[in-house]
Amino acid sequence: MLTLETRRLLLRPYMSADADFVLDLYSRMEVQRYIGNPPKLMQNRSEALALIEAWHRRDDGTCGIWAVQDKGAGKLAGTLLLKPIPASGPERQPSGDIEIGWHFHPGSWGKGYASEAAAAVLQHAFDAGLPRVVAVTNPANSASMRVCEKIGLQHHGPTDRYYNTVCEFFTADAPRA
């Protein structure tokens, strides 16, 4: 997986040594509230280790799951995701679209970290040749919709085409060469 760097952040693969952070992040209702249908809180460190393993299997050189680290403090701040998004339907088949997503620790909210990391992953997606990236948010998730706007995604209103639920739908197309 390509390591990415921004002014304040390092985006790198998750390691098993990050399991305590992953558990802390995904066991919080304020983080999981708008993720999943219904939201599910992580219960223990084994689940965190299994998730880190599963994330490694998603790395195809373009798509992947990055641990976002504050370069100054050396602390982890959250997760950036670039991955195939499942279509609505009983089988949750791949839709053919690639989604970008972000999950940050409340201790790191409000510093512009999600937008800074997401802009770097969006640029990476286009540099790797993806023609289009989508994002979906819970309609009540104003902070996440604002991140979409800040990184230049176009808002298309609600859609039910993914995840068997109604989400706000955003897209970005690769800049023309």
Stretch that binds ligand COA, among 39-47, 68-76, 109-117, 119-127 (CB under 6 A): 109-117
Stretch that binds ligand COA, among 29-37, 48-56, 67-75, 80-88 (CB under 6 A): 29-37
Instruction: Rank residues 19 and 79 by Cβ distance to ligand COA and give the closer one.
Output: 79
Please, what is the minimum distance in Å from the beta carbon of residue 137 to ligand COA? 4
Phi, psi angle pair for 120, to nearest 5°:
-70, -40
Instruction: Rank residues 103 and 124 by Cβ distance to ligand COA and give the closer one.
Output: 103
Nearest-angstrom CA–CA distance, 2 and 59: 9
Please, what is the minimum distance in Å from the beta carbon of residue 35 to ligand COA? 5
Interface with ligand COA includes 98 (CB under 6 A)? no
* Residue selected from 10, 98, 101, 170 as contacting ligand COA according to rule CB under 6 A: 101
* Sequence-distant (≥ 6) Cβ neighbours of residue 34 within 8 angstroms: 137, 138, 140, 141, 144
Strand, helix or coil for residue 157:
strand
- Give the C-alpha distances (Å, rounded to integers) separating 63 from 19, 59, 120, 130, 142: 21, 6, 13, 10, 25
Nearest-angstrom CA–CA distance, 172 and 156: 11
* Residue selected from 19, 68, 80, 144 as contacting ligand COA according to rule CB under 6 A: 144
- Give the C-alpha distances (Å, rounded to integers) separating 123 from 8, 30, 40, 101, 104: 16, 28, 31, 14, 20
| 35 neighbors 27 (Cβ within 8 angstroms) | no
Footprint of ligand COA on 111-140 (CB under 6 A)? 111-115, 137
Please, what is the minimum distance in Å from the beta carbon of residue 17 to ligand COA? 22
Give the binding site for ligand COA (CB under 6 A): 31, 34-35, 101-104, 108-115, 137, 141-144, 146-147
